[in-house]
């Protein structure tokens, strides 16, 4: 076949194939993508003006780099997408464990094969996916895992002395030769392993069981780390840190809009049985919970509040709305504020609290975050325009009015209850949240209005969904702390 790939070293020579280092390969493919205007990191939102340009600069400079950031900042996703910058496939000497370049074999196996077979040495082609190796650093990772170890059984079967290179069982790093080697959570790696990485990066040689082995690997090294880990569990040794070309800081979404885009992209909301319709203001409330949590002094900001939190809350809120729709026979799934409260376990499980926060409790803090997020969202949607109607709502509760929300009520039944509160539905219409042909949207909007009044301490809401008159401040000071009736 005219288009058959070369199968021997001789055929590869005749084909005109020119090997190049993996960093040059990535650099040239990156430049081609840039010229073509291709998206470099699909699915990565909010990094176009910050992280992505810095990663591009490091790769164009042929540098190893580390992504430094808190949990849930897409560090692993970015490094895994570097595979797209490799060639579709490359040739290696068939049977090589370290992806030997047919023209310049690295291992003794490869050199011996070329010496014995010459141009008849067999060639294999490996796809780009097989040239990416990733390891999660843990304290129990050994030198053998990363670099390799002497295999006595291999030595016995081959009749080799232990110092023979053919007795080595290569670790992950040599097996990533001519590819990308990634280590997640680098500070967790034992110091002696980091020394081994530095040595092979700088000198290209290693020692296995005291036997020196020359391995000038061709590899792009990328790492991730959490700033908290520098002091909590370990650190990056200075010589290794000095040899990492670029330290690139990742971050959480810088705008609510970017956060919503990430959550919508990642959350599982297509349930199949019933259509899911998440009101924009509900999506915004969920995202604002994360933004408020990242500013709350009662929450440990060194651990961060992962973007996985709003993703999980969205999925749980949709599930609660889906359960209700099945029970009530509604034809669509439309989450509302009460569904966000039903998703509290997705919030509390992702908050690391400071001492002050431990005294308050994660559930109470989570409830406050939901209420404050609803208030901020309502104001952002023009809540001030409905002040006259809101006064009617507050006056109703001040006169002793009570409204009990049932989480499992259909939207139409809920709207009937809302109509008993003067000004409530008028406020929804005033700010443009009323949807005439969607009771689910309108009911969700009305509940948003009530929750915004709770956030402003003008109305009280109990943990069972009972709205009533807000507690008054005690005479003489002692400001009221937002909370919920037990």
pLDDT tens over the chain, length 486 residues:
446 889 999 999 999 999 999 999 999 999 999 999 999 999 999 999 999 999 999 999 999 999 999 989 999 999 999 999 999 999 999 999 999 999 999 888 899 999 999 999 999 999 999 999 999 988 888 888 888 776 655 655 655 555 566 667 788 998 999 999 999 999 888 888 888 787 777 766 666 666 667 778 899 999 999 887 554 456 888 888 888 999 999 999 999 999 999 999 999 999 888 999 999 999 999 999 999 999 999 999 988 899 999 999 999 999 999 999 999 999 999 999 999 999 999 999 999 999 999 999 999 999 999 999 999 999 999 998 999 999 999 999 999 999 998 889 999 999 999 999 999 999 999 999 999 899 999 999 999 999 999 999 999 988 888 888 888 644 333 332 333 332
For residue 478, what pLDDT is reported? 34
3-state SS track over 105-121: CCCHHHHHHHHHHHHHC
For residue 192, what pLDDT is reported? 81
Model pTM score: 0.86
* Domains observed in the chain: 9-249 (3.40.50.300), 256-469 (no CATH)
For residue 234, what pLDDT is reported? 66
Distances (CA, A) of 412 to 319, 409, 430, 444: 19, 8, 20, 11
CB count within 10 Å of CB 38 equals 11
Task: Identify the residue whose tokens are 């030198």.
Answer: 143
Q: Which residues contact 416 (CB under 8 A, 6 or more apart)?
A: none
DSSP secondary structure code for residue 482 in this structure: P
CB count within 10 Å of CB 486 equals 6
- Written as six digits, the tokens of 54 are 């810095």
d(CA 50, CA 76) in angstroms, rounded, equals 17
**One-character DSSP codes across 342-398:** HTHHHHHTT--B-HHHHHH-HHHHHHHHHHHHHHHHHHHTTGGGGHHHHHHHHHHHH
């Amino acid at each position: 076949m005219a288009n058959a790939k070369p199968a021997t070293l001789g055929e590869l020579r005749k084909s005109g194939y020119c090997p190049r280092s993996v960093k040059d390969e990535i650099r040239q493919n990156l430049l081609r993508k840039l010229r073509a205007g291709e998206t470099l990191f699909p699915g990565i939102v909010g990094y176009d003006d910050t992280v992505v340009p810095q990663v591009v600069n490091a790769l164009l400079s042929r540098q190893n780099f580390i992504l430094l950031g808190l949990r849930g900042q897409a560090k692993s996703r970015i490094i895994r997408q570097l595979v797209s910058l490799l060639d579709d496939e490359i040739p290696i000497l068939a049977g090589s464990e370290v992806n030997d370049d047919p023209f310049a074999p690295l291992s003794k196996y490869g050199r011996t094969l070329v010496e014995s077979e010459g141009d008849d040495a067999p060639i294999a082609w490996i796809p780009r996916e097989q040239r990416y190796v990733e390891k999660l650093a843990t304290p129990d990772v050994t030198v053998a895992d990363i670099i390799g170890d002497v295999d006595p059984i291999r030595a016995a079967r081959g009749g080799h002395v232990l110092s023979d290179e053919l007795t080595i069982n290569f670790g992950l790093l040599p097996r990533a030769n001519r590819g990308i080697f990634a280590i997640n959570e680098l500070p967790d790696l034992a110091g002696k392993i980091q020394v081994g990485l530095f040595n092979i990066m700088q000198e290209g040689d290693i020692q296995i069981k005291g036997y020196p082995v020359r391995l000038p690997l061709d590899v792009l090294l990328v790492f991730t780390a959490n700033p908290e880990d520098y002091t909590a569990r370990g650190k990056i040794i200075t010589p290794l840190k000095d040899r990492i070309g670029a330290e690139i800081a990742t971050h959480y979404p810088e705008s609510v809009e970017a956060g919503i885009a990430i959550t919508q992209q990642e959350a599982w909301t297509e349930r199949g049985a019933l259509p899911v319709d998440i009101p924009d203001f509900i999506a915004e409330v969920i995202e604002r919970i994360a933004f408020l949590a990242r500013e709350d002094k009662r929450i440990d900001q060194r651990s961060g509040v992962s973007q996985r939190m709003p993703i999980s809350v969205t999925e749980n809120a949709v599930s609660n709305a889906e359960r209700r729709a099945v029970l009530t026979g509604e034809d669509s799934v439309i989450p509302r504020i009460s569904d966000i409260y039903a998703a509290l376990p997705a919030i509390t499980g992702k908050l690391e609290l400071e001492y002050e926060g431990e005294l308050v409790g994660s559930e109470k803090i989570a409830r406050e975050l939901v209420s404050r997020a609803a208030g901020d969202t309502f104001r952002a949607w023009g809540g001030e325009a409905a002040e006259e109607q809101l006064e009617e709502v507050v006056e109703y509760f001040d006169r002793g009015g009570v409204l009990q929300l049932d989480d499992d009520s259909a939207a139409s039944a809920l709207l009937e209850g809302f109509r008993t509160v003067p000004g409530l539905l008028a406020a929804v219409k005033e700010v443009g949240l009323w949807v005439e042909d969607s009771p689910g949207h309108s009911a969700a909007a009305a509940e948003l209005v009530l929750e915004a009044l709770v956030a402003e301490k003008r109305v009280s809401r109990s943990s069972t969904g009972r709205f009533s008159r807000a507690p008054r401040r005690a005479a003489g000071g002692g400001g009221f702390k937002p909370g919920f009736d037990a």
